[in-house]
Amino acid sequence: MSRIGKSPVPVPSGVDVQLNGQELTVKGKNGMLSMRFVDEVEAGYADNQITVKPRDDSKRARSMWGMQRTLANNLIVGVSEGFNVELEINGVGYRAAVQGKTLNLQLGYSHDINFPIPDGVEIKCARPTAVSVSGADKQRVGQVAAEIRAFRPPEPYKGKGVKYADEYIARKEGKKK
């Protein structure tokens, strides 16, 4: 029995839900998102709640149950509140700036990195060392943040690089004489 799967997904006011068979479409103030449930689970919508249950007792149906419920919840949260990932840039001369539809990164290389901002994702730089990635699609926001971090991951000796704001960098001691 899935602890996550058995709890229904509450739909807040201001969010429009359409469930046609296995296709779920959600509209809210942050846009419109849709997903298709796998065939092993059965979805229902009643009383402003989305319920997900397995069609049979197979291992795949039970393993998909909780994940499909979580994906549906991510759609609801995305169109109503949105998702946000904060990145921090550490290092002398390391900085970021948004120029139109491009994120300009200076990360200690001989050249600047121009990262095109994809559709559905918004990037802001409150300070030159702080980057905020936000949007309605949780997967896309996380992927864009991971791609930005991958340009210069934090190193363990001085902690220089791009890291998540809540990430802890395990520091190492330098070499001894």
Segments making up each domain of the chain, as ranges: 9-80, 83-164
SS (H, E, C) 28-43: ECCEEEEEECCCCEEE
**Residue 50 structure tokens:** 């989305």
Chain position carrying tokens 């469930």: 19
CATH architecture for the domain at 83-164 = Alpha-Beta Complex (3.90)
Percent of the chain with pLDDT over 90: 47
169 exposed, middle or buried (CB, 10 Å; 0-12, 13-18, 19+)?
Answer: middle
So what's the pLDDT on residue 147? 93
Kindly report, residue by residue over 21-75, the tens digit of the pLDDT: 889 899 988 889 999 998 888 888 888 898 988 988 889 988 889 899 999 999 9
CA 148 from centre of chain: 13
Do 83-164 and 9-80 have the same topology in CATH? yes
Q: Cite the DSSP H helix spans in the chain.
A: 59-80, 138-150
The token pair at 52 is 């997900």
Q: Which CATH superfamily is domain 9-80 in?
A: Ribosomal protein L6 (3.90.930.12)
Please state the pTM of the whole predicted model: 0.86
> pLDDT tens across 102-135, in order?
999 999 889 999 999 999 899 999 999 999 999 9
